[in-house]
């Protein structure tokens, strides 16, 4: 019986998220057609995430935002165990550019929106990863932050233990000389597991923004130590919850 109710709840969540996106898509389309308005997709993302989670009864608890300056650009680095992680950044403190897997572009309508406003990457191609990073830096301009999942996808076989980080997010931060912000998402993989037919569980969605880490004066030689520092911050936070 519990499985049946979970299935009904999952169907309700799908209806809410897809339905709201379809209602908002004309507004996303307007933003897409006017490049200087791309940064305003932030408001649509936040509206979509906020209303959808309220409708499905998932509460949010977001901490650490007070340590971020809304006037600064950041590279947000988070653990990645669930597709819900993308929704979480609808609550980012300002407009962001996502770097996501190329398969996202194949989703009808959503894929079109994602390609136009964000960046897709073929993670199997070294050249593709390089091009995607350059495009992400270009789309950031001087007023958008960058969201990257440095594991390179949902890769872990031992969740909530992360796999080792790739270099892209850290190279981006050093290139732009902007701070890195580790972000811990401890619950999303329980709410929406990475399974072929996932069943959604209703529980609080927590999001922890850690203190920004400066990259001022750093070079590409500092990538390994920077990568390890961010990894340890998130790993230690995950241990507190699991």
| Domain locations in the chain as residue ranges | 2-241
State pLDDT tens for residues 64-99: 999 999 899 999 999 999 999 999 999 999 899 999
Phi, psi of 120 (to 5 degrees): -105, 150
Architecture of domain 2-241 in this structure: 3-Layer(aba) Sandwich (3.40)
Check if the beta carbon of residue 83 is closer than 8 Å to that of residue 103: no
Among 165, 237, 233, smallest CA distance to 206 is for 237
Share of the chain above pLDDT 70, in %: 100
pTM for the structure as a whole: 0.95
* H runs (alpha helix) in the chain: 2-33, 41-55, 84-88, 110-117, 126-140, 168-176, 188-191, 223-241
Asked if residue 125 has pLDDT above 80, the reply is no
193 in helix, strand or coil? coil
Average pLDDT (168-189) is 98
Q: How far apart are CA 91 and CA 19, in angstroms?
A: 20
């Amino acid at each position: 019986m519990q499985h049946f109710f979970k299935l009904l709840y999952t169907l309700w969540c799908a209806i809410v998220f897809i339905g709201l996106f379809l209602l908002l898509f004309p507004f996303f389309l307007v933003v897409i057609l006017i490049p200087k308005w791309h940064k305003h997709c932030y408001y649509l993302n936040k509206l979509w995430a906020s209303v959808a989670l309220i409708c499905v009864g998932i509460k949010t608890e977001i901490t650490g935002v007070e340590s971020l300056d809304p006037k600064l650009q950041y590279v947000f680095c988070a653990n990645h165990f669930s597709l819900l992680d993308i929704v979480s950044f609808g609550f980012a403190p300002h407009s962001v550019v996502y770097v996501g897997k190329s398969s996202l572009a194949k989703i009808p309508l959503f894929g079109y929106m994602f390609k136009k406003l964000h960046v897709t990457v073929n993670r199997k191609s070294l050249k593709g990863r390089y091009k995607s990073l350059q495009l992400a830096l270009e789309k950031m301009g001087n007023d958008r932050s960058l969201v990257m999942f440095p594991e390179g996808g949902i890769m872990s076989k031992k969740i909530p233990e992360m796999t080792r980080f790739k270099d892209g997010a850290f190279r981006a931060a050093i290139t732009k000389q902007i701070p890195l912000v580790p972000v811990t998402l401890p619950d999303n993989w329980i709410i929406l597991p990475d399974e072929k037919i996932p069943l959604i569980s209703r529980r609080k969605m927590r999001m922890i923004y850690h203190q920004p880490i400066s990259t001022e004066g750093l070079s590409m030689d500092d990538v390994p130590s920077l990568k390890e520092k961010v990894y340890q911050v998130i790993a230690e936070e995950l241990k507190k919850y699991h």
